[in-house]
Amino acid sequence: MTNIYFDHSATTPVDPSVVEAMLPYLRNRYGNPSSSYRLGQEARQAMENARSQVAALIGAHPDEIFFTSGGTEADNMAILGTAYKQWEKGRHLITTAIEHRAVLEPCKFLRSQGFEVTFLPVDESGMLDPQEVQQAIRKDTILISIMHANNEIGTIQPVEEIGAIAEERGITFHCDAVQSAGRIPVDVNRIKCDLLSISSHKLYGPKGAGCLYLRKGTKIVPLITGGGQERDLRGGTENLPGIVGFGRATELACQVLDQSRWELVFLRDRIIEGISERIPNSILNGHRFQRLPGHVSFSFANVDGKALLSMLDEKGIAASNGSACHSDSPGPSHVLKALGYSDELAKSTLRITLGRDNNDHQVDYLLAILPDMIEALRDISPEFRPEAECPCQDQPSSQN
Ligand code: PLP
């Protein structure tokens, strides 16, 4: 059977060279980086090498990188850690309605603890207007947290403009770069962020590793305390094989980013144009151009999104409806709801996210089988009347 992986926003395969780099640390180089004898010091050396590799990907200094278990922990650490540090200064946070739940949940938790959170709206393409940020700032605002690129719709936010606003107003700025790091250039000095989250498994590294970038001088309260690892900001014996793999993955990303980015844009645009031409009443979700290179998301009026995924799976294609993190949740996506979609339309979504292992033939195959699948699902949908106006015409969309 064909086996095509089109879900790189959920996770990526581990690159073979990353596996190679990790293997010695799973076999004979098992030292604890905190141990003083040679085995331990070799482990520390490998960890510091990985710290430099990760720092190089985002234009940071190695001392500004703090390893975590992944993107969720980095986001929690940034938001809760800043709030606990600055609560005497103010208790107001600003974020958007379309953040990943790794940001939304700690924000909601803080609200239950007496903080106030402004969840800014986005336009129909998922884009945040920096002026909205400017206007939402209050005297007691202590943190602005805005994602670089959205996992469900691929829209890339104007984080450099937002960072400039935060800097001018003296407010800590956190950027969730989990979807963007390794896919588009991410430079902490251009974004002017104080904190930035990255996850290893989104850039061909292993799961269970990631980091929080913390600009020199930025202070947070640690969430995990214990043995004083990561300069007292994240206790716990480090996941050395994971960190070494993460480091190698970022090194590789630096080498291939420029080329792979444009290859992915090419494949992405073939899919966007192919679907728009072949499938009536299809809506492109997210911004047409300010979007991640390999990211395609469509909603198809009167199509059961879950049934579509099963049909694709039958044909050997792994794709998703939106975020892998809440694929078990029956509710419509909070991101598509924030774009103004009805529950039905939000549930009729197909997300295809491409990676370095995809090619033209796979795109041809998808475009060959998808129109019939959509037609078959519409034929059995009680709602579908081909002669009627597409319900999506009432919906804000960036259809092209
Ligand atoms: N932030 C964004 C934008 C994401 O897409 C994800 C995962 O999909 C996360 C955070 C969480 O990252 P992790 O899976 O490493 O915990």
Taking only the tens of pLDDT, the chain with its 400 residues reads 669 999 999 999 999 999 999 999 999 999 999 999 999 999 999 999 999 999 999 999 999 999 999 999 999 999 999 999 999 999 999 999 999 999 999 999 999 999 999 999 999 999 999 999 999 999 999 999 999 999 999 999 999 999 999 999 999 999 999 999 999 999 999 999 999 999 999 999 999 999 999 999 999 999 999 999 999 999 999 999 999 999 999 999 999 999 999 999 999 999 999 999 999 999 999 999 999 999 999 999 999 999 999 999 999 999 999 765 455 566 899 999 999 999 999 999 999 999 999 999 999 999 999 999 999 999 998 776 555 444 444 443 333 2
Q: Give residue ranges with CB within 6 A of ligand 1.
A: 70-72, 75, 100, 102, 147, 151, 176, 178-179, 199, 201, 210, 325
What is the pTM assigned to this prediction? 0.94
Is there a single domain that holds both residue 54 and residue 163?
A: yes
325 is catalytic: yes
In a domain, 389, yes or no: no
Is there a single domain that holds both residue 213 and residue 272?
A: no
In a domain, 61, yes or no: yes
Is there a single domain that holds both residue 140 and residue 29?
A: yes
Å from CA of 296 to ligand 1 middle: 18
Whose CA is closest to atom 10 on ligand 1? Answer: 71
What's the confidence (pLDDT) of residue 394? 43
| From 193, 211, 325, 390, active-site residue | 325
In a domain, 200, yes or no: yes
In a domain, 387, yes or no: no
In a domain, 196, yes or no: yes
Distance CA 190, CA 164 (A): 9
Is there a single domain that holds both residue 62 and residue 141?
A: yes
In a domain, 231, yes or no: yes
Ligand 1 pocket test, candidate residues 7, 199, 351, most atoms within 8 A of CB: 199
Is there a single domain that holds both residue 171 and residue 276?
A: no
Asked whether the beta carbons of 129 and 103 are under 8 A apart, the reply is no
CATH number of the domain bearing residue 327: 3.90.1150.10
Ligand 1 pocket test, candidate residues 69, 151, 183, 333, most atoms within 8 A of CB: 151
Is there a single domain that holds both residue 101 and residue 235?
A: yes
Q: Is the dihedral of CA 318, 324, 326, 332 positive or negative?
A: negative
Is there a single domain that holds both residue 248 and residue 372?
A: no
> What domain range includes position 283?
4-10+257-382
